[in-house]
Amino acid sequence: MVKTPHPQKLLPPLENGDRLNRYEFERRYNAMPLKKAELIEGVVYMAAALRFKSHGEPHGNLIIWLGSYKVATLGVELGIEPTVRLDLDNEPQPDAVLLIGEQYGGQSWLSEDDYVEGAPELVAEIAASSAAIDLGDKKRAYRRNGIKEYIVWQVFEQKLDWFSLQEGEYVPLPVDESGVIRSRVFPGLWLAVEELLTGNMIQVLTVLQAGVASSEQAEFVQQRSR
């Protein structure tokens, strides 16, 4: 008698709103056609189609700013929408992460299968329709996992918040009299907020260049070149 092999058990498709742990989320995600999905506090969120003015262009300008700092700063790495394994209930794909390389004392590392493990030093999100998530569950997950700085750009409100983790809570970084916010984790990472919001990238990069020419940024780089 010839035995008929049992059919392979099919994985359920990944659906918006599913409640899963990180391992089951990855199993279903890897079996799907390529698309963006995140696990935030045990809930699956699937990205809607992204529009140009409300996401694509702001995202590009944010990357120009962060990328310019990365090029000028030894030991700093930049990623666009990488999968980040934070904990058993959270596996986001932030719009940008800026991190200090593991060999330079950073708090995250790359797994054998090339995912970010642990908490990058800085995470940035473009929040249009996702504002409630980015400022709610995602913010709480980032804070609990020790992400030191978190930028949320609310495109529709024309507002940018830059939070710093201080004594276990996210506190907004101050805007100085020139309208500039300065990172506490990455010396020289200066942002002309209104200029970024209005798309004046020449002025954004001018202010950043002043930051990367500062003495504190030079000391930060020198410490990593020893």
Q: Residue 151's CB: how many other CB atoms inside 10 A?
A: 25
Q: What is the pLDDT of residue 33?
A: 79
CA 125 – CA 148 distance, rounded (Å): 14
Place of tokens 């020419």: 213
Sign of CA dihedral 49, 53, 54, 56: positive
Domains and CATH numbers, the chain: 51-225 (3.90.1570.10)
How do residues 26-76 score in pLDDT, each as one tens digit?
999 888 876 789 999 999 988 877 889 889 999 999 999 999 999 999 999
Name which of 35-49, 56-70, 113-127, 190-204 the model is least confident about. Answer: 35-49
How do residues 129-147 score in pLDDT, each as one tens digit?
656 778 888 999 999 999 9
